[in-house]
Amino acid sequence: RKEVEQDPGPFNVPEGATVAFNCTYSNSASQSFFWYRQDCRKEPKLLMSVYSSGNEDGRFTAQLNRASQYISLLIRDSKLSDSATYLCVVNRGAAGNKLTFGGGTRVLVKP
Amino acid sequence: DTGVSQDPRHKITKRGQNVTFRCDPISEHNRLYWYRQTLGQGPEFLTYFQNEAQLEKSRLLSDRFSAERPKGSFSTLEIQRTEQGDSAMYLCASSLILASTDTQYFGPGTRLTVL
């Protein structure tokens, strides 16, 4: 079993709609969580950190459920420019802070 | 541009050849990471440096791979005797460690194709 698992999608989303997807992680000792966005053939870019209390950044809302070991991302009022792969990322917080990535969820926003 | 830079952006080589990639981190960042990403997968950790010290290597990093960060600034990743399975995007990230967490910023990657 992979340490971080995501539905690969694609999620086909009409422009203006809301889309949400989850990721699960297996290591209960994980300490910090992130969503990165990756456009085709580009590098990953930090979208947002995920806090225990949940957090919102504009149209994006992230939630963390430690008991069930999953993280969610919700995108409201989807824009064409939101089309990308969203990578769920976990940091176990051990020495080095190396990141463990999920395989990504592909989102396609269509007019 | 004050972001992470990588060179070359693309490399095509024949099986058995050696290749070397360079990463220039964001100035003043003391941590530098190498990741590898294959098609349809998320990046996988390879190794990281704090200043010039290489502190951890993944088991993915076979003895054909070596990384250096001699002066605690830029880093190089060398692959000897390349194999077709080495074809991937090699990503470098840097961060400034503050307290116990850091935000990693990625470079554009070097896409390696081994023929």
pLDDT tens by residue, B31-64:
999 999 999 899 999 999 999 999 888 888 889 9
Q: How is residue A94 annotated by DSSP?
A: S
pLDDT tens by residue, B95-110:
988 755 678 899 999 9
Q: What is the CA radius of gyration of chain B?
A: 13
Angle at B35 between CA A65 and CA A93, to 5 degrees: 40
**CA distance readout (Å), A42 to A38, B94, B108, B111:** 6, 16, 6, 10
Chain A residues touching B43 at Cβ < 8 A: 44, 87, 99, 101
Q: What H or E segment, with its residue span, contains residue A62?
A: strand A60-65
Contact B46, B58 (CB under 8 A): yes
Mean pLDDT of A64-89: 96
| Interchain contact B106–A (C-beta under 8 A) | yes
Chain B residues touching A42 at Cβ < 8 A: 108
Place of tokens 């422009």: A15
**CA distance readout (Å), A103 to A36, A37, A74, B71:** 11, 12, 18, 34
Mean pLDDT of B84-104: 86
User: Least CA distance to B46: which residue of chain A?
Assistant: A98
Instruction: Kindly report the backbone phi and psi dihedral angles of residue A80, in degrees, each rounded to the nearest multiple of 5, phi listed first.
Output: -55, -35
| Interchain contact A48–B (C-beta under 8 A) | no
Q: What integer pLDDT is reported at residue A1 of this predicted model?
A: 77
Strand partners, A32: A91
| Interchain contact B103–A (C-beta under 8 A) | yes
| Interchain contact A98–B (C-beta under 8 A) | yes
The C-alpha of B8 sits at a distance from chain A's nearest C-alpha, in angstroms, of: 14
Mean pLDDT of B21-25: 97
pLDDT tens by residue, A80-95:
999 999 999 998 766 6
| Bond into B8 cis (ω within 30) | yes
| CA–CA distance, B91 with B77 (Å, rounded to integer) | 10
| CA–CA distance, B87 with A39 (Å, rounded to integer) | 20
Mean pLDDT of A22-27: 94
A98 or B101, which is more confident? A98
| Interchain contact A45–B (C-beta under 8 A) | yes
Percent pLDDT > 70 in chain B is: 96
Q: How is residue B98 annotated by DSSP?
A: B
Mean pLDDT of B75-99: 93
